[in-house]
Amino acid sequence: MTTRSDTTTALNRLLAEIEHRNPAQPEFHQAAHEVLETLAPVIAARPEYAEPGLVERLVEPERQVIFRVPWQDDQGRVHVNRGFRVEFNSALGPYKGGLRFHSSVNLGVIKFLGFEQIFKNALTGLGIGGGKGGSDFDPHGRSDAEVMRFCQSFMTELYRHIGEHTDVPAGDIGVGGREIGYLFGQYRRITNRWEAGVLTGKGQGWGGSLIRPEATGYGNVLFAAAMMRERGEDLEGQTAVVSGSGNVAIYTIEKLAALGANAVTCSDSSGYVVDEKGIDLDLLKQIKEVERGRVDAYAERRGASARFVPGGRVWDVPADIALPSATQNELNEADAETLIRNGVKAVSEGANMPATPEAVHLLQKAGVAFGPGKAANAGGVAVSALEMAQNHARTSWTAARVEEELTHIMNDIHTTCHETAERYEAPGDYVTGANIAGFERVADAMLAQGVI
Ligand code: GLU
């Protein structure tokens, strides 16, 4: 008989081993802690999960590829970046997860993202495994031609590892429609195959799904709305703080407005904008999506209602709900204290792991509804899986149909996390609910498929 304390001891031993075997990967350690620390009740309750090697296999990627990405800038200078693809777990379907192009990318970052992706993708219920990739290439300030050459070089190695039944990358930070276009073009050229399902986030008219660009942000707002409903409230009239100004933040702001809430902030690495009248989306889209500019330009052009706070943090602005939509560890303990002091009711993660463990702990202790990214931001990858389904069927669905499916999936994920948390005596704890529910699905498939 395995007791909960035996299980906790075994998981702690495994966590120490993970740190030892994967040195200098703090983000991966953090993600592993966050998941494994919540699994003791389910492993103790279901003896099959205590099978030797199951959790050990889960924390070891099935395959990790690291490659050189040489490319020439517009002046003919050669640059050498590093490319990654971590194929973490394919028990539920082909590896699925985005590519991140950002100067902070390294193996540990990609492994944390890939590990999260396993559980997130399991929660969607759509038959997708977990993977992630990217490069330490920084597209900011690069011309279209430079980005194209980089993407072509990146795909010249990546193509041999991916495929519609093998591994299906998409976007993440620094990888949007433009990059997916260049990557898809090079894949098609090298393989001589029109294989639409090899990448998601494609453009309209060549295999992309309607609502894919909106899906992560829309999905996160739907998840926040479901958490608020659970507390007997809705989003109507609520003030929201949103961080970031990329794809996730933009469509979070759009959906908040559609549901009657008012998003008053957005940010980038230079600081944040607060706009008392609510963020003007047309202006923000023009600056970020068309001009690829910075948020201070928003404040300059918006007029009296908006101001730019250089170097500041959006969490200082009082709000009912907070939707961190920029990057990992952007909301720390001090930020959580500020949010709580200002009366925040719900925090829902649009980015991957934006709240530090200390922040999550504080928010939960204060009774704030907290939606972890692997549940709350699963809408993006869910619509990616719907894009794959449309590609397989050689069809495309209407925006209304995709949005209806997305709404259904997000409500389902919310219910699953909520009910799982109750089942394991952690009512209202969406972190535990998401981790256990995701784990059960992956672990059951891994056990059925044998030791591989
Ligand atoms: N990068 C997104 C995520 O973190 C989307 C991945 C995908 O669509 O495959 O889930």
Rounded to the nearest angstrom, the distance between the alpha carbon of 75 and the centre of ligand 1 is: 33
* Alpha-carbon gap, residue 347 to 356, rounded angstroms: 13
- Among 84, 117, 413, residue to substitute to test ligand 1 (most atoms within 8 Å of Cβ): 117
Strand, coil or helix: 439: helix
- Among 95, 172, 374, 402, residue to substitute to test ligand 1 (most atoms within 8 Å of Cβ): 172
Strand, coil or helix: 216: helix
Sheet harboring 262-263: ordered strands across?
A: 262-263, 239-242, 321-323, 346-348, 369-371
Which residue CA neighbors atom 10 of ligand 1 most closely? 381
Asked: is 63-194 a CATH 3.40.50.10860 domain? The reply is yes
Does 215-367 match 63-194 at the fold level?
Answer: yes
Q: Indicate if the pLDDT at residue 189 is higher than 90.
A: yes
132 is catalytic: yes
Q: Each residue of 107-156: pLDDT tens digit?
A: 999 999 999 999 999 999 999 999 999 999 999 999 999 999 999 999 99
Point out the ligand 1 atom lying closest to the alpha carbon of residue 212: 8
Q: Each residue of 366-415: pLDDT tens digit?
A: 999 999 999 999 999 999 999 999 999 999 999 999 999 999 999 999 99
Q: Each residue of 67-87: pLDDT tens digit?
A: 999 999 999 999 999 999 999
| Ligand 1 binding pocket includes 123 (Cβ within 6 Å) | no
* Alpha-carbon gap, residue 292 to 302, rounded angstroms: 17
Closest CA to 108 of 174, 33, 26: 26
Contact call for residues 442 and 96 (beta carbons, < 8 A): no
Closest CA to 314 of 292, 337, 289, 339: 339
Rounded to the nearest angstrom, the distance between the alpha carbon of 93 and the centre of ligand 1 is: 15
Closest CA to 226 of 355, 377, 415: 415
Q: What are the structure tokens assigned to 150, written together?
A: 């980089």
Q: Indicate if the pLDDT at residue 1 is higher than 70.
A: no
Rounded to the nearest angstrom, the distance between the alpha carbon of 359 and the centre of ligand 1 is: 24
For the domain covering 215-367, report its CATH number: 3.40.50.720
Point out the ligand 1 atom lying closest to the alpha carbon of residue 378: 10
Domain ranges of the chain: 63-194, 215-367
pLDDT value at residue 4: 85
